[in-house]
């Protein structure tokens, strides 16, 4: 078995897809790391959520995030490299999800509390928003796939919508307040 460590990153650089090496705090690496963290947090949320439509949607999003990560890892020097990409169909699927979990007009402040699964879903929402900010920062330095930017924007919206939907469902079952007017 090959050793996990290569020592190639000991000087604070890392490799991307292609020959390029960049600093470990490069905006591209920051974006990749935030997306990777989001995928891990979604896994934590899935482990605690019981609602099948939410779980199924999150499992598909985890698959999509591997595509996002591959696209972000594509070095500028390797632009011709065949890597899966986010396409309009990915964005459309998130929009269908937003419509599916529609809760109508939200007039209360939503507090991130309730069941363990719900709180983990809110956590995923906040990590998604940070990942989106990192991708947007990268896009200000170099051109990115516009569908990738749209996907990240819709994803944070979908996770918010799911959290509110789940929270309303829980509120109907319990007496503890999760909303503040």
Tell me which CATH code domain 23-76+85-180 carries. Answer: 1.20.1200.10
For residue 140, pLDDT beyond 80: yes
For residue 176, pLDDT beyond 70: no
CA atoms within 13 A on the CB side of 160: 14
* Residue environment code for 75-95, b if the CB has 16+ CB neighbours within 10 A, otherwise e: beeeeeeebeebeeebbebbe
The mean pLDDT value of the chain amounts to: 87
Confidence of residue 120 (pLDDT cuts 50, 70, 90): very high
For residue 38, pLDDT beyond 90: yes
Taking alpha carbons only, the member of 146, 172, 159 closest to residue 38 is: 159
pLDDT, average across residues 43-64: 95
């Amino acid at each position: 078995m090959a050793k996990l460590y290569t020592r190639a990153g000991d000087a604070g650089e890392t490799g991307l897809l292609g020959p390029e090496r960049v600093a470990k705090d490069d905006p591209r690496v920051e974006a990749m790391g935030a997306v990777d963290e989001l995928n891990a947090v979604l896994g934590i949320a899935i482990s605690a959520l019981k609602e099948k439509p939410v779980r199924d949607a999150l499992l598909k999003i985890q698959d999509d995030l591997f595509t996002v990560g591959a696209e972000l890892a594509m070095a500028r020097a390797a632009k011709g490299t065949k890597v899966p990409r986010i396409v309009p169909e990915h964005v459309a699927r998130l929009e269908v999800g937003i419509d599916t979990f529609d809760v109508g007009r939200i007039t209360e402040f939503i507090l991130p509390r309730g069941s363990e699964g719900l709180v983990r879903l809110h956590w995923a929402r906040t990590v998604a928003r940070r990942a989106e900010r990192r991708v947007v920062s990268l896009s200000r330095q170099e051109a990115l796939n516009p569908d990738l930017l749209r996907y990240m924007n819709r994803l944070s919206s979908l996770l918010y919508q799911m959290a509110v939907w789940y929270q309303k469902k829980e509120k109907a079952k319990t007496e503890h307040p999760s909303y503040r007017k």
